[in-house]
Amino acid sequence: MRPEILRHPAAELASGAADVFVERVLSRDGVVRVALSGGSTPRALYHELAKRSLPWDRIEVFWGDERGVGPDDDASNYRMASEALLRHVPIPEERIHRIEGEREDAAARYAARLGDAPLDIVLLGMGSDGHTASLFVGGADLESDETVIVARSPAPPTRRISLSLATINASDEAILLVGGESKASILARAHAEITTGRPTLPVARVSPRRRWLWIVDEAAAGQLDTKEQETG
Ligand code: 6PG
């Protein structure tokens, strides 16, 4: 699926992404199942969301991936999102579904927690190697039909638990958040792979059911040739 691309000046990336996330949640009735991402770019969004008004009594929070560590570890995506967002909003504890990265059986337990219902909104970041969630080139089985997989990261912590590509693509919509010059080249390559119909990078293989939105800053978008696709 070709992504819709929303560009923002770097200083407005987090607030622009927060505007979109709030609008997407409010556009849905009932319980909204969202998956958070790790990474410094998504973290800036979480700080912004902590200041916004959202219906936290009907949001179920999951994660797209987690490092193979416990909740108090500095590397934990759960800890990062808790410190940046979840501790500051009125979300009931039972609506927070942590991936128990410290457990050997984390993937099976998390898959059971997720159940069969598709996620509504999956937030994703992208590494400078084109990985997303913990779907690393050569470190994850992108063909897996499992709900949750164990993956390997080239950078420590190497053990990762991740939504499979199949689960991400079964979601209703995904939002990719990318900022910085260092991502410009790989983002352009991912976009070219999608438009030529030969996606190989994990981020280029993402294709949600209804909506695929890239929210990028000017530096990350610097090598994109996509005038026809952009909004905002
Ligand atoms: C993680 C994330 C990972 C992250 C990207 C982008 O566990 O680290 O799931 O996919 O989103 O690596 O991270 P930055 O925004 O920090 O570059």
pTM comes to 0.97
Q: What is the pLDDT of residues 160-216, one digit of tens each?
A: 999 999 999 999 999 999 999 999 999 999 999 999 999 999 999 999 999 999 999
List 34's β-bridge partners, or say none.
61, 121
| pLDDT number for residue 174 | 98
Note whether 103 and 109 are within 8 A (CB). yes
List 8's β-bridge partners, or say none.
217
How far is Cα 25 from Cα 47, in angstroms, rounded to an integer? Answer: 17
What sign has the CA pseudo-torsion 72, 77, 83, 86? negative
| pLDDT number for residue 228 | 47
Segment 8-25 shows an average pLDDT of 98
How far is Cα 228 from Cα 230, in angstroms, rounded to an integer? Answer: 6
Look at the block and give the residue holding tokens 């409010």.
26
> Which of 99, 126, 182 most suits a substitution to test ligand 1, by most atoms within 8 Å of the C-beta?
126
Confidence of residue 229 (pLDDT cuts 50, 70, 90): low
**Atom 4 in ligand 1: residue holding the nearest Cα:** 39
How far lies 94's CA from each of 33, 56, 57, 161, in Å? 13, 12, 10, 21
CA of 179, closest atom in ligand 1: 15
Ligand 1 neighbours, Cβ below 6 Å, are 37-42, 64-65, 77, 125-127, 131-134
Q: How far is the CA of 134 from the centre of ligand 1 (A)?
A: 8
> Which of 79, 132, 137, 181 most suits a substitution to test ligand 1, by most atoms within 8 Å of the C-beta?
132
**Atom 14 in ligand 1: residue holding the nearest Cα:** 39
Confidence of residue 231 (pLDDT cuts 50, 70, 90): low
